[in-house]
Structure 1
């Protein structure tokens, strides 16, 4: 146990350990319904007065790299979690088995840095292979078919529903559909509450609901 902790909190694994703790905390919040892990996009607030030229182009370039590496088609949170977990595992194994044989602290730091970078490369390849069969689980339906459930009732799945996130379940033709929802605050919506679907937002692919 002491050896594991020494590896986990020593360079270079310590950097990825800190990121892994953030990921674990995020998924704990997702389990209790405080974050929407199925969101496939990043909500980035751009300050137009901050002299950030070419932001749209930078985001476009980033998106093209994500597609090129095969990391698209699943929620961003899942991709990041897999990247960090795999990178941490590879780096930790290297630090446990190989790094102790490297002489001098300076050389260990250089080799450790190179190993961490290589681990990220391995993580990208492995994550792309893992998410490929998962894409069919996160298919986004067209707005025309989704809009047909407006007016029906749904069951709230998250602990709260506000302007930023929320999830609910609606039954159609004997099948249950998990949908993204939002509501104005304050409201009485919580896990298990019954709500009415008022309208569909095709831009954000989510529904406006109100307590039934």
Structure 2
């Protein structure tokens, strides 16, 4: 046990140990919902290094964990062969460089099957509903009240807040057209829509 602690806190493993503490702390925060695994993706990209397509945090975590294990193992194996401080220091530099290189190569192999689990496409936006027809789900729609159900292009449905300023009557079950979105109020402006005038021959 003492030999393990000495190796973990010695050069070069101490560098990986410190990074590993950060990694473990980060994923604990993700587990409790205090952080997001994609939190740093907008600032760093590893495409040029052959490790793109997965969150940066995953790449860093894999490199850190693999590098820590390799450095620790090499340090334990080579320590009995180091006869002086100078030799031990030189060996530490070699172990550090080798652990980083191997960890990078192994991580490149590991991230390939993980890429299909992460999508770079942006998530659905409320603005995607603008221009679609909807079905009113409340008894009335006015400047301060109203809800409607709208079907997205992918077939999913959502209930959204709608408002109108015109005098046309929109009641439950009637069809409306979402023609604008108010980002401040987080609602859609809706107008009555006659499905008979739809050139496609159908409504929502």
**Category of TM-score, reference length = shorter chain:** 0.5 to 0.7
TM-score, normalised relative to structure 2: 0.59
The superposition leaves residues 158-202 of structure 1 with CA deviations (integer Å, 9 ceiling, x where unpaired) of: xxxxxxxxxxxxxx8689xxxxxxxxxxxxxxxxxxxxxxx7x9x
Relative distance call for 1:40 and 1:72 in structure 2 (3 A) is farther
Structure 1 match to 2:56: 76
- The list of structure 1 runs, each at least 4 consecutive aligned residues, that deviate by more than 4 angstroms after superposition, is 148-151, 172-175
Q: Structure 1 CA distance, aligned partners of 2:72 and 2:101? A: 15
TM-superposed CA distance for 1:40, in Å, is 5.8
> Which runs of structure 2 are paired with 1:124-143 in the superposition (5 Å)?
124-141=104-121
Q: Structure 2 CA distance, aligned partners of 1:173 and 1:91? A: 51
> Which runs of structure 2 are paired with 1:1-212 in the superposition (5 Å)?
1-39=1-39, 41-43=41-43, 63=45, 66-141=46-121, 146-147=124-125
TM-superposed CA distance for 1:111, in Å, is 1.1
Structure 2 match to 1:192: none
Matched position secondary structure for 1:27? helix
Q: Please list every run of 5 or more consecutive structure 2 residues that lacks an aligned counterpart in the other structure.
A: 131-153, 158-180, 188-204
TM-superposed CA distance for 1:147, in Å, is 2.9
Q: Structure 1 CA distance, aligned partners of 2:82 and 2:24? A: 31
Q: Please list every run of 5 or more consecutive structure 1 residues that lacks an aligned counterpart in the other structure.
A: 44-58, 152-171, 176-198, 202-208
Counting matched residue pairs gives 139
TM-superposed CA distance for 1:114, in Å, is 1.5
Q: Which has the higher contact order (CA 8 A, sep 6+)?
A: 1
Asked if 1 retains the 8 angstrom alpha-carbon contact of 2:62 and 2:107, the reply is yes
TM-score, normalised relative to structure 1: 0.57
TM-superposed CA distance for 1:38, in Å, is 2.7
Q: Structure 1 CA distance, aligned partners of 2:92 and 2:69? A: 14
Larger Rg: 2
Matched position secondary structure for 2:52? coil
